[in-house]
Amino acid sequence: MTGFREPMLATLTERRFSSPDWVFERKLDGMRAIAGRDGGAVRLWSRTGRPIEAGFPEVADALADLGGPRFTADGEIVAFDGAQTSFARLQGRIHLTDPARIAATGIRVHYYLFDLLSVEGEDVTRLPLRDRKRLLRRAFTFQDPLRYSVHRNTDGEALFADACGRGWEGLIAKRASSRYHSGRSKNWLKLKCVRDQEFVVGGFTDPQGSRAGFGALLVGYHDGRGPLRYAGKVGTGYDDATLRALRERMDALAEPKSPFKDPVRERAHWVRPELVVQVAFTEWTADGMLRHPRYQGERTDKPARDVVRETA
């Protein structure tokens, strides 16, 4: 009961609604993390079950100091850019495990806890969400970098408008009576103010002029569990360090043929479709391409085979 469990995931919706049977939380732009402890050291796992406590030692230390000896909790690790959570800023911490290099980044992180799966050896996933939230408040002392993800009740439409006005990612709506279970669920819903999602990198173009690394990433998504569909090229959102680091990663994944089912007109270098990135965009075009895409960061917490086009 204190080990890794595949997290519960929200389903995208275009509905904007109010209901006394639902609670609404801020959608955070960070890295999902399951935390567990069984009388000893605190463990942290990514969404895929990869150990990440070495990358976020201040979070592990806070959980050890501010939580009990046995628990499993669910939350999101975030970094802030001003008042907004920023996945792009969190990128500076993603691959680091050396304490000195972590400290040198100057990037502070916080761990927002929003659910409790077990406490003191008791599995609480069958309890309604409201009861689990009450137990969560009592199970930890919330001091930075540990924070409680507050929720609001009933008036989802007004809360959504307020969230978008504040520049938030959106809201997560959760059915108050729902149990916790692994996998995608319609008892948790994503209401997004901005459009973004994960894509698989299938190739890249050459850089032009003085630009380093590459020109644009060629990205796509899986058609269910089927082939990789082409979604367009992403040419903005990179600094020089990111351009060079991604080029090095992609050179190690070089392939002679395109991994995309669809024809791609760009002169490109092809790669094995293993690298996952997060991309923001304004909309999908009628022919299934991304409009105004912008790179936000690499996702190390989602397998490429699970990346599909996100639809409401």
In this prediction, residue 194 has a pLDDT band, given cuts at 50, 70 and 90, of: confident
User: Are 183 and 253 in a shared domain?
Assistant: no
Contact 110, 144 (CB under 8 A): yes
Q: Are residues 171 and 285 in the same domain?
A: no
- Is 190 in the active site? no
Q: For residue 288, what is the DSSP state? A: S
Per the structure, the complete domain to which residue 167 belongs is given by 8-192
> Does some domain include residue 311?
no
146 and 254 belong to one structural domain? no
8 Å CB contact between 250 and 228: no
Q: What is the mean pLDDT of the chain?
A: 94
Considering only CA atoms, which of 51, 304, 122 is closest in space to residue 200?
Answer: 304
* Residue 43 sits in the same domain as residue 27: yes
> Is 312 part of any domain?
no
Average pLDDT over residues 19-40: 96
User: Total structural domains in the chain?
Assistant: 2
**CA distance readout (Å), 184 to 10, 15, 55, 284, 292:** 6, 17, 27, 23, 28
What is the reported pTM? 0.83
Dihedral sign, Cα of residue 90, residue 293, residue 299, residue 64: positive
Residue finishing a domain among 169, 192, 215: 192
pLDDT(1) > 80: no
Would you call the peptide bond into 145 cis, given omega within 30 degrees of 0 as the criterion?
yes
Whether residue 92 lies inside any domain: the answer is yes
Q: What is the dihedral of CA 70, 85, 29, 54, to 10 degrees?
A: -40
Average pLDDT over residues 211-229: 92
> Does residue 253 sit within a domain?
yes
Nearest to 151 by CA among 174, 121, 183, 119: 174
Which residue is catalytic, options 27, 174, 192, 233?
A: 27
Regarding whether 76 and 47 lie in a shared domain, the answer is: yes
Can you tell me the distance from the alpha carbon of 67 to that of 164, in angstroms, rounded to the nearest whole number? Answer: 33
pLDDT tens by residue, 105-157: 999 999 999 999 999 989 999 999 999 999 999 999 999 999 999 999 889 99
Joined tokens for residue 306: 């699970």
CA angle, residues 229, 231, 237, in degrees to nearest 5: 140
Alpha helices per DSSP H over 184-302: 240-251
* 196-207 pLDDT, tens digit each: 999 999 999 999
Residue that terminates a domain, selected from 166, 192, 218: 192
At 312 the pLDDT is: 77
Residues 107 and 145 in one domain: yes
CA distance 285 to 289: 5
Same domain for 295 and 157: no
Q: Give CA torsion, residues 37, 39, 40, 41, to 10 deg.
A: 20
- Read off the pLDDT band of 10 (50, 70, 90): very high
Task: Specify the CATH number for the domain of residue 270.
Answer: 2.40.50.140
- Are 19 and 141 part of one and the same domain? yes
pLDDT digits (tens, 9 = 90+) for 235-251: 999 999 999 999 999 99
Domain presence at residue 113? yes
* Contact between 309 and 221 (Cβ < 8 Å): yes
Radius of gyration of the chain (CA): 20
Contacts of 210 (CB under 8 A, 6+ apart): none
pLDDT for 311 equals 84
